[in-house]
Amino acid sequence: MSALTRPAALLFDLDGTLVDTAPDLARATNALRAHHGLAPLPYGVIRAQVSNGGSALVTLALGLAKEAAGHDPARTFLLAAYGEAVADESRVFPPLSPLLAAWEAAGLPWGIVTNKPRGFAEPLIDALALTPGALLCADDLPVKKPDPAPLLEAARRLGVAPHACWYLGDHLRDMQAARAAGMAAVAVGWGYVEEGDDYHLWPADLWFETGEALAAAIASTEMPPTR
């Protein structure tokens, strides 16, 4: 059976794939706007930009390009506001909690590969009582996604061949990284996909609109998988 139907390990992007972090990031983004005397942006507008990181949220909030004067201080302010409470409203996407519980109960490995800095990722993961066997963050290696190196390092730490891993993500760069790593690229439609961006057009191997569909597909595979 192929790796696409019989994964030996699951690797997740963090924001928008495993955890819904948009509420806390939206709070920080609107705190930045309030600091500049601006009205809050609608939650949905902010949510669509969350996967693009802090600089994108600064651009959204203030209209400042990454190279513009004032961008870096604004990003520092936004991240400080976010860091004060990274898990007030952030939650694991509900269908994924029982999936992970069943996966761990079967003694199977899983991990997280994120472009989020470790200083924010670790407190979030700890607050949600998640126990990945591998966690690769933006500042752990000299490169980050879409470079495949973090995914390959996660697979190495889990002791699983890359071709036997599924990597799940809600952004084009996640699929690019997975393909480059030789992993099954799994695109999810419940995350922070920007308006007008059709995730079905990403270079993925599998596409899931809902967490329930993903969980059902994984539950239907034969366990334990071959490594």
Q: What is the pLDDT of residues 105-152, one digit of tens each?
A: 999 999 999 999 999 999 999 999 999 999 999 999 999 999 999 999
Let me know if residue 224 belongs to a domain: no
Averaged over 71-90, what is the pLDDT?
97
**What percent of the chain lies above the pLDDT cut of 90?**
86
pLDDT value at residue 226: 34
Residue 79 has phi, psi (to 5 degrees) of: -65, -35
Check whether residue 106 and residue 210 sit in a common domain.
Answer: yes
Q: What is the pLDDT of residues 154-200, one digit of tens each?
A: 999 999 999 999 999 999 999 999 999 999 999 999 999 888 899 99
Check whether residue 30 and residue 139 sit in a common domain.
Answer: no
How many domains does the chain divide into? Answer: 2
Residue 197 a catalytic site member: no
Check whether residue 99 and residue 55 sit in a common domain.
Answer: no
Q: Which domain holds residue 58?
A: 22-83
Let me know if residue 227 belongs to a domain: no
Check whether residue 137 and residue 203 sit in a common domain.
Answer: yes
Query: pTM value?
Result: 0.92
Q: Is 40 helix (H, G, I), strand (E, B) or coil?
A: coil
Check whether residue 132 and residue 212 sit in a common domain.
Answer: yes
Let me know if residue 4 belongs to a domain: no
Let me know if residue 100 belongs to a domain: yes
Residue 24 a catalytic site member: no
Contacts of residue 75, Cβ cutoff 8 Å, sequence gap at least 6: 54, 55, 58
Check whether residue 126 and residue 208 sit in a common domain.
Answer: yes
In what helix (H) or strand (E) does residue 77 lie, and over which residues does it extend?
helix 71-83
pLDDT value at residue 60: 97
